[in-house]
A and B are shown apart, each in its own frame.
Chain A
Amino acid sequence: MNFDLGPELGAFRLEVRAFLEDFGDIGAFFHHEGAYDDATRRLYLALGERNWLALAWPEEVGGEGKHPLFEFVLWDEMARSRAARPPLGSGIVAKTIIRAGTEEQKERFLPGLRSGEVFFSLGYSEPEAGSDLAGLRTRAVRRGDVYVVTGEKRWTSGGHRADYLWMLCRTGTQESRGRGLTILIVDRRSPGITVSPLTALSGERFNEIFFDEVEVPVDNRIGDENGGWQLIGESLATERHVQFQPSRVRRDFDDLVEWLSERGLTGDPVVRYRLSDLAVRVAEVEALALAMCEAVQDGRDAAVEAAANKLAGSEVAQEVSRLAGDLGVPDSVVVGSQIEYLWRQSISETIGGGTSEIMRGLIAGRGLGLPLKG
């Protein structure tokens, strides 16, 4: 047994830290208003220049051909410095195109994703389909060389500034559930698309995106018609190691301790007790992340380990950010105070990217082997 990621990844971690010194605290890791500004764009372009957005892509499509754990280290350090989150484009989107796209699609989409110039937003959730994606209703009807897309996507992060939407659409009957879904890449500027804002408690702009007979070239379909469900399942499997970064929790905890000690509160026995309790949980999150990395390193399906990592990590992140308010520090209620901000940014962590309920179900079913029905 060995709990070290090894010298190569250790060296890479230091390289990432050095790289991030130039970018300071961009803060685009969090979902606040204006999280994706020019500074963030420069960061992604700089990542693109180093080819770090394609670390684990195969070399034949311009990637570095590295082990996925390099991506884990990169985004874990990005979380520690709060610079940014892993983009969907170079992750789920690119890896699905690499696996299931045509040569023409690879040539058309991969260079922009690798360079950090092109931005994708995920069009999965709908008003009636959140955790239950197989129930989604946005319909794509084949008409000659195009699909005609009609429906609504909701809670779409970044949908207003995306170049493309990575959409899951219904091509089969409603009853066919997961067997009737297809992935389409939709140009966000296509006629018939209306984007309207929904503001989240974090300050993030979500969107409602309405599609009124939007024509999408058949050439923008990834994989087979009605083959979308399997592709998104496989693509999730390729991104488990970057689903939740343990260093985010460590950084939040360190900041909380510093914030409380600046206010002279760390001598209070109640504060010390609560902090030591949390310190143990933070250590637990880091250990679960290592277990997940070990499974990924070993080439095993890390679904259960990744679910445990996300479940524990997101809940501890919330506990950490909640503590200051629970201790009665008055500025924890004020807009702009670091701790109120941290708290606000953590509310959605147990919901976005797969809810805690979905994670628990996965651990119970695939981890413990519990039956669905008696």
Chain B
Amino acid sequence: MDFTLDSHQEAVLEAVRTLLSRHGGPARLHDLGGDEPGYDHDLDKRLAEAGFLDIAEPRSACRLDAALVLETLSGALASSAAGWRLLVLPTLDVDVEGPVALVAESHSGPARFAADADALVVIGDDRVRLVRPDRRIPRVRSRLGWPVGEVSGLPEGGVIDEAPAAEVRAWARVALATEMVGAMQFALDITVRHVSDRRQFDRAIGSFQAVQHGLAECSVAVEGARWLALEAAFTGAASTAAAALTQASEASKLIFRRTHQYHGAMGFTREYDLHLSTLRLLALRSEAESLGRPAAACAHEHWGI
């Protein structure tokens, strides 16, 4: 066991961070529309050119490197569907050039990236389809930090031969959990900086024990979510994937409440960056549930109930 990055992983993440320092981060998201952003095609293009989007081998059981890249992208608030490509597509023998969106077969309504995707991965109970919409899916207004399209009446067909639906669903859960970890870390970092700088009652508000304890709990929750998500990416086990997403979802509620609370009115204004990550958590959590309740999946995977 070794929880440190190996030299290859270090080098990859360093390169991704360098790319993101120029083409990612809150400033880039603001340029794209802030909490109502467009899709960052330019970022996807650069990531693809550098080979970062195909980092997991097709059908590979271990997708740890891909998860590390996704966590980094999410932590820099990338407006990209790279998560599905990094962690889900390696299970499927398909060829799609541009962004993909991912929804459950029963889904009807708003879905992340649907308006920008070249294809949709549609997960049913025992089959997976790749749907290439014959016309652009309309964009719908959402102010939770993601580009969103309104999915209804998807065309039939596109069933992918022998695609393992349960496995695809599990990898989708790993991707969502990993994205949550990146967004939570962003929120936690900006909050730790804020409470260290912000002075009230002649002291930094981070010197109050109540605030310290609150943030310590947040830190443990994010660390727990990170190791669970990365473990799931390492093993590819459906049970760990379900546990990781359940834990990350729960942690994200705590992170939202506490990080906003400790910012006071400042965190509640659009000019401040906190909401760019925290609003995303709500959308991710909702999406996690729409793929089938992760907590129920946990019980099912562990005990067959």
Contacts and interface: CB of A to CB of B under 8 A. Distances in A.
Contacts of A327: 286, 289
B269 A199 contact: yes
Contacts of B36: 335
B108 A335 contact: no
A357 B210 contact: yes
B141 interface: yes
Contacts of B285: 325-326, 328
Given A132-B201, A331-B110, A357-B261, A351 B268 contact: yes
Contacts of B271: 198-199
The secondary structure that dominates the A interface is mixed
Given A335-B141, A351-B261, A198 B269 contact: yes
A125 B282 CA distance: 29
Contact of A131 (B107, B108, B110, B264): B264
Interface string A330-366: 1111111000000100011011100111001000000
Contacts of A132: 200-201
Contacts of B108: 330
Contacts of B141: 334-336
A167 B254 CA distance: 35
B110 A270 contact: no
A329 interface: yes
A75 interface: no
A253 interface: no
B46 interface: no
A330 B286 contact: yes
Contacts of B296: 270
B44 interface: no
B289 A326 contact: yes
Contacts of A348: 265, 268
Interface string B256-288: 010011001110111100010001001101111
B265 A331 contact: no
Interface residues of B, number: 45
Counting chain A CB atoms within 10 Å of each CB, the highest count among B199, B210, B257 belongs to B257
Interface in B3-33: none
Contacts of A130: 200, 264-266
Given A327-B289, A328-B286, A351-B264, A206 B269 contact: yes
Interface string B231-266: 000000000000000000100010001001100111
Contact of B286 (A154, A155, A326): A326
A350 B269 contact: no
B123 to A, nearest CB: 14
A360 B210 contact: yes
Contacts of A326: 249, 253, 285-286, 289
Contacts of B291: 328
B127 interface: no
A198 B265 CA distance: 11
A330 B269 contact: no
Given A330-B109, A336-B141, A325 B293 contact: no
Given A135-B200, A326-B289, A328-B287, A206 B148 contact: no
B88 interface: no
Question: What 9 A-B pairs are tightest by C-beta distance, nearest first?
Answer: A328-B289, A330-B109, A132-B200, A335-B141, A155-B265, A328-B290, A199-B270, A132-B201, A325-B286
Interface of A: 125, 128-132, 135, 154-155, 198-202, 206, 270, 318, 322, 325-336, 343, 347-348, 350-352, 355-357, 360
Interface of B: 36, 107-111, 140-144, 148, 199-202, 208, 210-211, 249, 253, 257, 260-261, 264-266, 268-271, 275, 279, 282-283, 285-291, 293, 295-296
7 contacts: A198-B270, A200-B268, A270-B296, A330-B107, A330-B111, A352-B265, A357-B208
